[in-house]
């Protein structure tokens, strides 16, 4: 590997390589080659092991005529003759190796029936449907007859089409609690319908029916665990897999549930890596292929193709439902492995509560016989110092600056010095026995430090931008501030690292998803951002993971619930999500979920800024400009020989800060420039794995000294 000698240059340009790393083939899911045509609302059919994706719509809901063939055995796409009539949200079905494209079209329904022969790559027009029909997963074939069920937002009719004589026949409609944008699958001569919708507004059904074409009768079956519409269902090895869908206008799910038609029972699987609605797909050779989905918000389509192998789907669940919280749910703190949940608000009137309940994760039990918080309040924060819980601020609609400390050993409360100003929705973190309070009050950027030993408050530097209902987590002596809100409830994606010793902020890589009213938790060197919201009255199920060592984010499968304004804590490297609301207080959760990051083996995307090869990271110094000292942080992913030196503009060496072999980890070096002239300087790191046997990697950054 070529080495770079800094002294030969007065101006150094360090090239950065931006890469997107995607890790798949986990829990049965594998990312495949994207579709050539970006679309949603297409329909899929199989002939001779090949999957034909026909029709669909653009992001602006313009009908498409595309016809593309995917070969799962080679992961290769091939363009075919387009449909004569462009349309999305259509149905396709196969009879005698001919694909029949039926209905669809948006916003005007089309009655067209057109038959495609893959062997000749030609289309033939058939007799029109009796009435317009919209939706792409509600057709199936029994004894060479095509059955079309539901559709049209909330339609419950059932029609049969005989390709042999080109005749349509109306059958018995579904029962009254079925219909709409449902999904259908054939098993043992019966047609099973799943979910569906009512409209307007969009609302999801969970009903399941079995239709017998021979007797033209319907039988009610066990409901799906998750109500949804715009989903897909697939038959693999005698079981029907229900994947994705939506529950409201613009919503998408990553839910995977499995129905056994023989026992009429359901089983929940780990979520798929992405959320999807209005997709299409097919099952080939025991594997499920999912295509052409709409993204969250229904504002865009996706070319993504996912292969799901149910035989590889591990039984381990990353999320486990625990005993419900009896009451409250404002803030949570941990002492001796027990989680104390304090304060909160009633639903839906948002009255402040004084609750104090203790949860023991080892026994999954609650203790409600604790002394209540002296001052009832929700939207508060708490922090632990010396095995005592400091409960600070909160209150709605009138916020307070109360500071009350709880001693679990004696089950008693003591009043302490009040916070500098009243606020709610702020977050707390502890470094070296000092409690730091950030944000709150919708859009506040203040930072206040409380010293429990002296019972004193100190005002610190404000968050540079963002603020409001942020989330904060302490890690390796720094406090990371994530997201937040403005006065109009717009969400921020900003991330800062706050150094309590220097009282300075350093920008870090933004979160993938802007949000507020969420929680962050540090587990095994990484920070997990869960839930929250990015718009008034809605909630998120997002799980995104930040690596402070390399300033990178990765996205995990979603939480089982959409939730904001919840409490949470970490015990034994497991995260507990407690209470919260999906819709800002119209309804509330009493549920408690345990999340084990060690079992979460799916990563849907990693975006990193790095130098190749990826062995280390060098961060911008802070503060910068500085006088007279600054901090330089670097991280290495394995044991390496590290040198860190300072140079002036002429390439002259000014100081050597590090020159030794270091184990993997993150390091912060303080450089004091007393006696050094003001000006521009460079700091350069050289990293040599295996003592330099494999060469040396180099990175250089600029800093400014201003006396």
pLDDT per position as a tens digit, 531-545: 999 877 678 889 999
Strand partners, 499: 504
For residue 200, cis peptide bond before it (omega within 30 degrees of 0): yes
Give yes or no for a contact between 579 and 587, defined as CB atoms under 8 angstroms apart: no
Q: What is the CATH number of domain 28-313?
A: 2.120.10.80
- The span from the CA of 100 to the CA of 630, in Å, is 70
**What does the DSSP assignment read for 498-527?**
EETTTTEEEEEPPPSS--BS-EEEEETTEE
Mean pLDDT of 206-228: 95
Quick: pLDDT tens for 572-617: 999 999 999 887 756 677 899 999 988 776 554 444 333 333 467 8
Which residue spans of the chain are classified as CATH 2.60.40.2550?
6-16+616-705
Look up residue 53 and give its two tokens.
């994706």
**What does the DSSP assignment read for 461-490?**
PPPSS-BSS-EEEEETTEEEEEEEE-TT--
Q: Which residues contact 374 (CB under 8 A, 6 or more apart)?
A: 354, 404, 413, 415
Q: What are phi and psi of 599, to 5 degrees?
A: -95, -5
Query: How large a percentage of the chain has pLDDT more than 70?
Result: 89
Quick: pLDDT tens for 649-670: 777 889 999 999 888 777 888 8
Please report which confidence band the pLDDT of residue 571 belongs to, taking 50, 70 and 90 as the band edges: very high
Look up residue 158 and give its two tokens.
């059932």
The predicted structure's pLDDT at residue 136? 54
Least confident among 7-16, 266-275, 456-465, 566-575? 7-16
Residue, of 501 and 274, whose pLDDT is higher: 501
Class of domain 320-608: mainly beta
Please report which confidence band the pLDDT of residue 414 belongs to, taking 50, 70 and 90 as the band edges: very high
The predicted structure's pLDDT at residue 314? 54
Which residue spans of the chain are classified as CATH 2.120.10.80?
28-313, 320-608
Sign of CA dihedral 508, 511, 514, 517: negative
- The span from the CA of 632 to the CA of 618, in Å, is 8
Alpha-carbon distances of 379 from 350, 483, 562, 578, rounded to whole Å = 10, 17, 19, 14
**Of 372, 393, 471, which is closest to residue 429 (Cα–Cα)?**
471
Residue 220: DSSP 8-state: E
Q: Which residues contact 90 (CB under 8 A, 6 or more apart)?
A: 41, 42, 43, 54, 55, 101, 102, 103, 104, 105, 110, 136
- The span from the CA of 577 to the CA of 56, in Å, is 39
Check whether 117 has a pLDDT greater than 90: yes
- The span from the CA of 225 to the CA of 564, in Å, is 22
Query: How large a percentage of the chain has pLDDT more than 90?
Result: 57
b/e for 646-658, b at 16 or more Cβ within 10 A? bbeeeeeeeeebb
Sign of CA dihedral 578, 253, 193, 104: positive
Please report which confidence band the pLDDT of residue 271 belongs to, taking 50, 70 and 90 as the band edges: confident
Check whether 523 has a pLDDT greater than 90: yes
For residue 201, cis peptide bond before it (omega within 30 degrees of 0): yes
Check whether 511 has a pLDDT greater than 60: yes
Work out the mean pLDDT of the chain and round it to a whole number.
86
Neighbours of 185 (CB within 10 A): 21
Give yes or no for a contact between 241 and 255, defined as CB atoms under 8 angstroms apart: no
- The span from the CA of 49 to the CA of 37, in Å, is 21
As a dihedral over the C-alpha atoms of residue 310, residue 313, residue 318, residue 319, rounded to 10 degrees, the angle is: 30
- What's the whole-model pTM score? 0.53
Look up residue 61 and give its two tokens.
């809901």
Strand partners, 431: 434
Quick: pLDDT tens for 105-115: 888 888 999 99
Check whether 429 has a pLDDT greater than 80: yes
Mean pLDDT of 411-416: 97
Angle at CA of residue 195, ends 191 and 197, nearest 5°: 125
Look up residue 200 and give its two tokens.
């307007």
Angle at CA of residue 96, ends 92 and 102, nearest 5°: 20
Give yes or no for a contact between 549 and 533, defined as CB atoms under 8 angstroms apart: no
| 3-state class (DSSP) for residue 117 | strand
Q: In the CATH hierarchy, which fold is given to the domain comprising 6-16+616-705?
A: Immunoglobulin-like (2.60.40)
Residue 106 burial by Cβ neighbours in a 10 Å radius (0-12, 13-18, 19+): middle
- According to DSSP, the β-strands at 365-367 and 203-204 are unpaired
Q: What are phi and psi of 8, to 5 degrees?
A: -80, -5
Look up residue 204 and give its two tokens.
């999801």
**Of 403, 487, 474, which is closest to residue 445 (Cα–Cα)?**
487
Alpha-carbon distances of 651 from 13, 52, 176, 428, 674, rounded to whole Å = 14, 62, 80, 44, 20
Residue 432: DSSP 8-state: T
Find where tokens 């079905």 sit. Answer: 93
- The span from the CA of 7 to the CA of 432, in Å, is 41
Radius of gyration (Cα) for the chain, nearest Å? Answer: 29
The predicted structure's pLDDT at residue 616? 74
Q: What are phi and psi of 692, to 5 degrees?
A: 95, 0
Check whether 350 has a pLDDT greater than 70: yes
Give yes or no for a contact between 455 and 438, defined as CB atoms under 8 angstroms apart: no
Please report which confidence band the pLDDT of residue 359 belongs to, taking 50, 70 and 90 as the band edges: very high
Mean pLDDT of 289-306: 76
The predicted structure's pLDDT at residue 694? 46
Neighbours of 195 (CB within 10 A): 29
Least confident among 84-98, 180-194, 227-241, 680-694? 680-694
Quick: pLDDT tens for 230-259: 999 999 999 999 999 988 888 888 899 999
Q: Residue 211: which H helix or E strand, with range?
A: strand 208-212
The predicted structure's pLDDT at residue 231? 92
Q: List the alpha helices (DSSP H) in 259-396.
A: none
Mean pLDDT of 444-449: 95
Quick: pLDDT tens for 549-566: 888 898 888 888 889 999
């Amino acid at each position: 590997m070529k080495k770079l000698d800094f002294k030969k240059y007065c101006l150094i340009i360090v090239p950065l390589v931006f890469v997107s790393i995607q890790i798949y083939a986990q829990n049965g899911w594998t990312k495949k080659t994207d579709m050539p045509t970006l679309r949603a609302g297409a329909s899929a059919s199989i002939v001779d092991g090949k999957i034909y994706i026909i029709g669909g719509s653009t992001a602006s809901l313009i009908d498409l005529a595309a016809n593309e063939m995917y070969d799962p055995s080679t992961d290769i796409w091939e363009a075919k003759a387009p449909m004569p009539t462009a349309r999305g949200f259509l149905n396709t079905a196969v009879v005698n190796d001919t694909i029949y494209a039926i209905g669809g079209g948006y916003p005007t329904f089309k009655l067209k029936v057109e038959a495609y022969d893959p062997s000749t790559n030609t289309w033939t027009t058939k007799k029109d449907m009796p009435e317009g029909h919209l939706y792409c997963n509600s057709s199936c074939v029994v004894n060479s007859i095509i059955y079309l069920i539901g559709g049209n937002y909330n339609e419950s009719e059932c029609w049969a089409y005989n390709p042999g004589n080109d005749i349509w026949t109306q059958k018995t409609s579904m029962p009254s609690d079925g219909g709409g944008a449902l999904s259908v699958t054939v098993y043992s001569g019966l047609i099973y319908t799943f979910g569906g919708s009512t409209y307007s507004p969009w609302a999801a059904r969970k009903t399941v029916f079995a239709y017998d074409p021979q007797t033209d009768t319907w039988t009610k079956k066990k409901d799906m665990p998750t109500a949804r519409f715009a989903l897909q269902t697939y038959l693999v090895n005698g079981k029907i897999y229900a994947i994705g869908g939506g529950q409201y206008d613009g919503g998408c799910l990553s839910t995977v549930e499995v129905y056994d038609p023989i026992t009429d029972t359901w089983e929940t699987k780990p979520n798929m890596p992405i959320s999807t609605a209005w997709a299409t797909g097919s099952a080939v050779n025991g594997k499920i292929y999912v295509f052409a989905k709409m993204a969250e918000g229904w504002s865009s389509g996706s070319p993504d193709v996912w292969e799901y192998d149910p035989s590889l789907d591990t039984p381990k669940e990353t999320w486990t439902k625990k005993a419900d919280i009896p009451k409250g749910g404002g803030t949570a703190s941990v002492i001796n492995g027990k989680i104390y949940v304090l304060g909160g608000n009633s639903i839906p009137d948002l009255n402040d509560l004084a609750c104090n309940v203790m949860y023991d994760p080892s026994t999954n039990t609650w203790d409600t016989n604790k002394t209540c918080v002296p001052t009832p309040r929700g939207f508060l924060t708490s922090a632990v110092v010396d095995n005592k819980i400091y409960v600070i601020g909160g209150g709605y609609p009138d916020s307070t600056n109360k500071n009350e400390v709880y001693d679990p050993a004696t089950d008693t409360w003591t009043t302490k010095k009040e916070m500098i100003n009243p606020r709610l929705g702020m977050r707390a973190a502890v470094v070296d026995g000092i409690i730091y309070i950030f944000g709150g009050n919708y859009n506040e950027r203040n930072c206040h430090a409380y010293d429990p030993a002296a019972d004193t408050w100190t005002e610190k530097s404000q968050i540079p931008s963002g603020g409001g209902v942020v989330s904060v987590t302490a890690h390796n002596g720094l406090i990371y501030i994530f997201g937040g809100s403005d006065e109009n409830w717009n969400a921020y994606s900003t991330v800062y690292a706050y150094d309590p010793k220097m009282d300075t902020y350093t920008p870090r890589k933004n979160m993938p998803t802007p949000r507020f009213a969420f929680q962050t938790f540090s587990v095994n060197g990484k920070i997990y951002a869960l839930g929250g919201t990015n718009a008034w009255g809605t909630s998120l199920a997002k799980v995104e993971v930040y690596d402070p060592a390399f300033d990178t984010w990765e996205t995990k499968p979603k939480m089982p619930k959409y939730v904001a304004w919840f409490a949470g804590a970490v015990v034994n490297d497991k995260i507990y999500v407690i209470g919260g609301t999906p819709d800002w207080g119209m309804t509330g959760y009493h549920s408690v979920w345990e999340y084990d990051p060690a079992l979460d083996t799916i990563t849907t995307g990693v975006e990193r800024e790095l130098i190749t090869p990826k062995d280390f990271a060098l961060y911008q110094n802070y503060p910068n400009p500085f006088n007279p000292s600054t901090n330089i942080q670097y991280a290495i992913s394995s044991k390496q020989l590290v040198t860190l030196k300072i140079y002036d503009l002429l390439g002259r060496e000014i100081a050597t800060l590090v020159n030794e072999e270091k184990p993997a980890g993150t390091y912060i070096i303080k450089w004091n420039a007393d006696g050094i002239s003001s000006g521009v300087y460079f700091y350069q790191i050289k990293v040599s794995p295996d003592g330099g046997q494999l060469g040396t990697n180099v990175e250089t950054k600029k800093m400014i000294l201003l006396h």
